Structure 1
Amino acid sequence: MTDAREHLLDWLRDAHAMEQQAEQMLKAQAARIEHYPELKARIEQHIEETLGQQALLEGCITRLGSSPSRLKDAMGKVAAMGQAIGGMVASDEIVKGSMAGYVFEHMEIASYRTLIAAAEALGDQETRAACERILVEEEAMARWLQDHLPDVTRQFLERADTPGATAKK
């Protein structure tokens, strides 16, 4: 196997682990949201997209004669658990979670752009197509977060100023 193909496989395994991490983070965040129904609904939609992305990546990895990295997948899940626990203690959890989600989406976007370029360089049109499909979903989620972060922030501040209201989640 060529070094370039090994890099592609390694990056696909990284992306699979990243999607495992995203799934755990999104599920933890959605479970804790109580007062931001639009954000919760979009996160739940993205959980479904993330599960489909995992399947697409697994298909690419398997087609290339390998399997996802159990170690990388486990590390991604552990990192997500740490992020969820850290968010629970923040008084502005909903705002920080939204900001973190926006940043994470851009990391995913960079990863898929890299995978698309690598697949293209290797002539792997199936991997390229799968990653292009995933990229569209990640860009849509990043745009949604970008467009809605001001509203989430305003809603948080309004709830924070309301006596007896819980604003953080």
Structure 2
Amino acid sequence: MTYTDATSSGLMSSDEAKQSYIMGIQSAHALETQATQLINRQLERIESYPEVAAILRQHYGETEAQLQRLDGILQELGTSSSGLKDFATGLSGNMAAMAHTIMSDEIMKNHFANVAFEAFEQATYRSLIAMAQATGFQHHVAIYEASLREEEKTFATLLNMTDQLTTKFMQLSLSGEQAKR
């Protein structure tokens, strides 16, 4: 069978389609592993922005739950996360967070990266929903939708605080206080 083969119901039931789906889940797992690294590095350094730290701590818990959900789906499918993908993206997350530490506006760079990352995660879960539906794993859709809602909420929270965070950063900078983090 090829990837485009479908059953009479229009589902992609080939081994190749299932493998593509599994690869998508493993990539999402790696992405969430990267998110945990980004959040941890930022939490280690935040000093003047407790409102940002609170959002990151809450989302860290959600991210851990998302990883567990993905692990459960992978286990159901008879496989596991990709250690290589998890390692590479985790390392990438650490490097990205560390790159911002030398910037005089570290908090702002991290904020912009976090907003973009949340959009990336939303797209990932939307893709997994489409893949689950296309391959006949409809029972996974609700799991992905739960994660998508969490990502949408965090995205909206971060995006909506941009003005306030920018103003606070500027005020701290002008007063000579620790503004960058």
Compute the TM-score of the two structures, normalised by the length of structure 1: 0.97
Give the corresponding residue for 1:56.
69
Structure richer in helix, relative to its length:
1
CA RMSD in angstroms, aligned pairs only: 0.9
C-alpha distance in 1 between matches for 2:17 and 2:86: 22
Give the corresponding residue for 2:28.
15
Decide which moves more: 75-84 or 13-22: 75-84
For residue 4 of structure 1, report the CA deviation from its aligned partner.
Answer: 1.2
- Which secondary structure does the structure 1 equivalent of 2:152 belong to? helix
The amino acid across from 2:20 in the alignment is H
For the Cα contact (< 8 Å) 1:25–1:84, is it kept in 2? Answer: yes
Instruction: State yes or no: 1:115 paired with 2:105.
Output: no
Decide which moves more: 70-79 or 121-130: 121-130
C-alpha distance in 2 between matches for 1:4 and 1:61: 15
For the Cα contact (< 8 Å) 1:13–1:68, is it kept in 2? Answer: yes
- Which secondary structure does the structure 1 equivalent of 2:160 belong to? helix
C-alpha distance in 1 between matches for 2:163 and 2:44: 22
Give the corresponding residue for 2:58.
45
The amino acid across from 2:178 in the alignment is T
- 1:8-50 deviations in whole A, cap 9, x for unaligned? 1000000000000000101111121111111110100000000
For residue 2 of structure 1, report the CA deviation from its aligned partner.
Answer: 1.7
- 1:72-106 deviations in whole A, cap 9, x for unaligned? 00001110111121011010000110000000011
Give the corresponding residue for 2:105.
92
For the Cα contact (< 8 Å) 1:16–1:54, is it kept in 2? Answer: yes
How much identity, in percent, do the aligned residues show? Answer: 36
Which residue of 47, 52, 72 corresponds with 1:34? 47
C-alpha distance in 1 between matches for 2:36 and 2:163: 24
Q: Could you list the runs of 5+ residues in structure 2 that have no partner in the other structure?
A: 1-13
Between the two proteins, the alignment pairs up a number of residues equal to 168
C-alpha distance in 1 between matches for 2:138 and 2:43: 35
Please list, as runs of the form range in 1=range in 2, the aligned pairs for 1:61-76 lying within 5 A after superposition. 61-76=74-89
For the Cα contact (< 8 Å) 1:119–1:127, is it kept in 2? Answer: yes
For residue 126 of structure 1, report the CA deviation from its aligned partner.
Answer: 2.8
- Which secondary structure does the structure 1 equivalent of 2:104 belong to? coil
C-alpha distance in 2 between matches for 1:127 and 1:10: 15
C-alpha distance in 1 between matches for 2:98 and 2:43: 14
Q: Could you list the runs of 5+ residues in structure 1 that have no partner in the other structure?
A: none
Compute the TM-score of the two structures, normalised by the length of structure 2: 0.91
